[in-house]
Amino acid sequence: MNLLGKTSVEIAELLQNTVDRPFRGRQVAGWIHQRDARTFEEMSDVPKSLRAALAKDFSLAEPEVLDRAVSNDGSTKYLFASEDGATVEGVSMPDGGKATLCLSSQTGCAVGCTFCVTGALGAGRNLKPEEMVGHYRLMRRDLPQEVERVNLVFMGMGEPLLNTTALGRALGVLYERVSPKRITISTAGIIPGIQWMAGLSRRPKLAVSLNAPDQQRRQEIMPITRRYPLDQLMAAVRAFPLERGRRITFEYVLIRDFNDQVADAHLVARLIEGIPSKINVIPLNEDVEHFPDLRQPSEGAVDSFARTLRDTGRVVTVRWSKGADVAAACGQLKGRSL
């Protein structure tokens, strides 16, 4: 059994019949989750006989790193391989004393957004808790020494809220190193998943991929909108409980001559009115192979769209994606070795 996907409490319970004294279980868990042990042999203050017993019945197996692609902006895209040969990508984005790690939740994506390469490649399997935690460990270990603060975003491959069982278990482990307020779950609008998040006793932040201000256009580029209509999605978002100081993040991919007009910005402002929120405006990352008819707006159009939203009193960030030169930007992850 791989212990990477287990919380410290779960590890202590699992080891009850293996350890000689109860504190040993907590000690082993501390080595795994606080001291980043890769093998039981590293646990120098654990008796050798216990280390041997642990190695016989349990593992600390991490995914294999098949490739690292380093961008000109300092971001790194990782290609990970699991024991069954499934491959998936993640992205590390250091920025001085802080870093953001972009984690995946599935090996593909069945949601099928028409501007996303992962969606174009189709569905894959759900990642296991130990795989998601393993990706975090591997990327965290590679960060520069000056990085003291790490944020996690589940914005990589897959739809996190279609894998809530494994995601919930992974979050339980990740919370031992990273505060929930520094973890963001991004969804294309899976309403039952949003309701699941709302019921958690410790909630990460919620990000909703919006991308159009009305049902018809959202449905064109995000087929999931047929199952979860925009009005029902917005009702679920309005009902989502927010701790003091928290906001919902709305992600809005700007596509030239589709959703990038000043009039569209006014419609977005009206749609989210009254919701404590911020909007991440993301100029489309073009991919001629997978969506040849979609183009990135001009910088002027991006500025006009963002300025219009700000003028309505909304909090807006324009996010020019990092890692585009190594296909590590938003919507570009393939999880393939090409």
Residue with tokens 């404590």: 276
- Count CB-CB contacts under 10 A for residue 56: 9
DSSP state of 160: G
C-alpha angle 179-185-188 in degrees, rounded to nearest 5: 170
Q: Which residue type sits at 3?
A: L
Are 251 and 221 spatial neighbours (Cβ–Cβ below 8 Å)?
A: no
Q: Which residue type sits at 320?
A: W
Which residues neighbour 287 within 8 Å (Cβ) at sequence distance 6 or greater? 117, 331, 332
CA-CA distance, 134 to 330, in Å (whole number)? 22
**Looking at the annotation, which residues are catalytic?**
89, 330
Are 111 and 10 spatial neighbours (Cβ–Cβ below 8 Å)?
A: no
CA-CA distance, 320 to 306, in Å (whole number)? 13
| Ordered DSSP codes for 210-257 | ---SSHHHHHHH-THHHHS-HHHHHHHHHTS---TT--EEEEEEE-TT
Are 74 and 89 spatial neighbours (Cβ–Cβ below 8 Å)?
A: no
Closest CA relative to residue 60, chosen from 6, 115, 125: 6
Which residues neighbour 305 within 8 Å (Cβ) at sequence distance 6 or greater? 254, 260, 261, 262, 264, 265, 281, 297
